[in-house]
Every structure is written in structure tokens, then in C-alpha cells.
Copies of this chain bind each other. A is one copy, B any other.
């Protein structure tokens, strides 16, 4: 499998998981939290999936396509390790779906980042919230959900906050 094949599979897995997550939170009231804007493609997909929800986006420095930049009042600009604790005052227990796409090939680095972010994200999730993530999220309050058909085990992860 070439890197082109592998990249296409990764994007398809991501899309399938986001689409599934949208179904899973259909009856869970709350905002959407995108951890990292990047080029804005995933944010654009979330906008399509959730036209009626507030989508908050964390990003260190915006470098997305101009059409994919969130409104200023929904953009949490800065390091996640600072913006997520700050957001707790107004977003605690109000997020129905959080999405983390680290997206690097550095497995050890991804795992370390996931472990660091998890305690910052958990307080924001409401009961029944879904967390979609490319790295594993290891937490007793998160129950792993089955992946959509065609998504290889471990390529992406879906969790429900119990």
C-alpha cells in the first residue's frame, strides 16, 4: 500500500467516523468541539453535519482556507493546554461531540499528546457525548464504540462518555 493509498484510507476512516458520530449524538444536546483546525477540511465537514450547532475550534495559529475559518467568537486561539482549561468556565459539560485529529505518523508523540489533552477535554463533555479521535484515549469514563464498516481497527476511535 502506497502512502497515497494509506492517506486516502485515513481520510475515508475519518469521514466515516465523523458521520457515525453525528448519528450517535443526534439526541445529545450540546456543542461541537474541534481540536485543531489545520486546513479546515474537517471543520467544513462538521459544519455540514451540524448546521444548527455551535462548533468551537481550537487552533494555535489559523492557516486554513479562508472559507473554513470559524467566526471569531467560536475560535479558541492559542495552545490547547491553555485554551481548554480557560474554556471550562463557560463550556463545562456542554460539548456533545469532540474531535481530535492529531494526524501525524509519530505514534509515541500522538499517545503522549492524547494523554495530556484527555483530562482537559473530559470536563467539557456532557453525559452521552461522543469523542472521535485518531489516537487511543484511555479513560474509565470513556466506553469505546464499534467503528463504521470499512474502517480498520485502530485507524480511528469512537468513544461515548458514560
Of the candidates B4, B7, B15, which one forms a contact with A4 in the assembled complex, judged by CB atoms under 8 Å apart?
Answer: B15
Binds B, one of A43-51, A77-85, A90-98, A129-137: A43-51
Interface centre among A3, A5, A11, A42 (most CB of B within 10 A): A3
Residues on B with C-beta less than 8 A from A40 are 3
Q: What are the 6 tightest A-B residue pairs by CB atom distance, in nearest-first order? A: A2-B45, A4-B45, A3-B44, A4-B41, A3-B41, A2-B44
Residues on B with C-beta less than 8 A from A7 are 11, 41
Interface centre among A4, A11, A39, A67 (most CB of B within 10 A): A4
Residues on B with C-beta less than 8 A from A65 are 3, 105
User: How long is the Cα–Cα vector from A11 to B39 in the complex, in angstroms?
Assistant: 16
Residues on B with C-beta less than 8 A from A115 are none
Enumerate A36-69 residues with CB–CB distance to B below 8 Å: 39-42, 44-45, 47-48, 65, 67-68
Interface centre among A8, A40, A42, A47 (most CB of B within 10 A): A8
Closest to A11 in B: B8
Interface centre among A12, A45, A47, A65 (most CB of B within 10 A): A45
Closest to A15 in B: B4
Of the candidates B8, B12, B45, which one forms a contact with A3 in the assembled complex, judged by CB atoms under 8 Å apart?
Answer: B45
Would you call A45 and B5 a contact (CB within 8 A)?
A: yes
